[in-house]
Amino acid sequence: MNDFEAIYARHSVRSYKPDAIEADKVLQLREKIDELNAAGNLHLQFIEDAGRTYSRLMNRVAGLGSAPSVIACVGKDAEDLDQRVGYYGEQLVLFAQKLGLNTCWTGTFSKGNTDADVKEGERLVICIAIGYGQDQGRVRKSKSYEDVAKVDAAVGEAPEWFKKGVEMALLAPTAINQQKFVIRLGADESVELVDKGGIFSKVDLGIVKCHFEIGAGREVTKS
């Protein structure tokens, strides 16, 4: 499975089988986490036993209490921490998808109930539920290309790479499926991601950036 296939296959999954993730896959996840932590200056952690991370009533009702494991997204507090968590965390989500696992980003986890190692000066931003889903989730509603893409008038018809980037960005998970972002293409081929606000919108922007870059095959200029 390549990145494109993983993006199409990924949907948020909130009900999990009780099966634990096999040791060889845990090892691969931990190796990938080490790589992403080094690249993003983060302290992402795989927590094998999700324990009471999803003990809140709303999470239990949603089914998240069944998640066997969790990824705690921790990093040294900084202005861009949320966006980096989104950007590198989503790379991990897509890696997990390729391993046959399912995930769900979760802002509603119980902070006090995770076994995350949060050192002084660090912040636990969000958690990602991970395990084998009861199903693969489902396709959800999405904004359209016209809703989120803004192309400089001097460009005329947007190039294929930009369109593919936007297509992948529209498949990115966002909190409450808000998709509150705009992707601007400048006359000089620059790409700017604009955050239109909302809950966890900075994490969303990092996730969207990850998807856009996979689709476009080039980096976002400004976010």
**What is the maximal distance between C-alpha atoms in the chain?**
55
**Would you count residue 74 as binding ligand FMN (CB under 6 A)?**
no
Q: What is d(CA 175, CA 143) in angstroms, rounded to the nearest whole number?
A: 14
Is position 12 an interface residue for ligand FMN (rule: CB under 6 A)?
yes
174 binds ligand FMN (CB under 6 A): yes
Q: What does each C-alpha distance from 118 to 49, 53, 98 come to in angstroms? A: 17, 15, 28
Contact call for residue 41 and ligand FMN (CB under 6 A): no
Radius of gyration of the chain from its Cα atoms, rounded to whole angstroms: 17
Residue type, 67: A
Distance of alpha carbon 152 from the chain centroid? 28
Among 54, 105, 162, 181, binds ligand FMN (CB under 6 A): 105
Nearer to ligand FMN, 207 or 216 (CB): 207
Q: Which lies closer to ligand FMN via its Cβ, residue 62 or residue 101? A: 62
Nearer to ligand FMN, 82 or 151 (CB): 82
Question: Distance of CA 95 to CAs 36, 49, 211, Å?
Answer: 11, 20, 13
Q: Which one, 29 or 207, has the nearer CB to ligand FMN?
A: 207
Q: What's the CA angle centered on 142, arms 187 and 88, to 5 degrees?
A: 70
For ligand FMN, the binding residues in 108-147 under the rule CB under 6 A are 108, 126, 137, 140
Per CB under 6 A, the segment of 40-48, 114-122, 151-159, 196-204 that binds ligand FMN is: 196-204
What's the sign of the alpha-carbon dihedral 151, 155, 156, 162? Answer: negative
Is the CB of 98 or the CB of 158 nearer to ligand FMN?
A: 98
Binding site for ligand FMN (CB under 6 A): 11-12, 14, 62, 104-108, 126, 137, 140, 173-177, 200, 203-204, 207
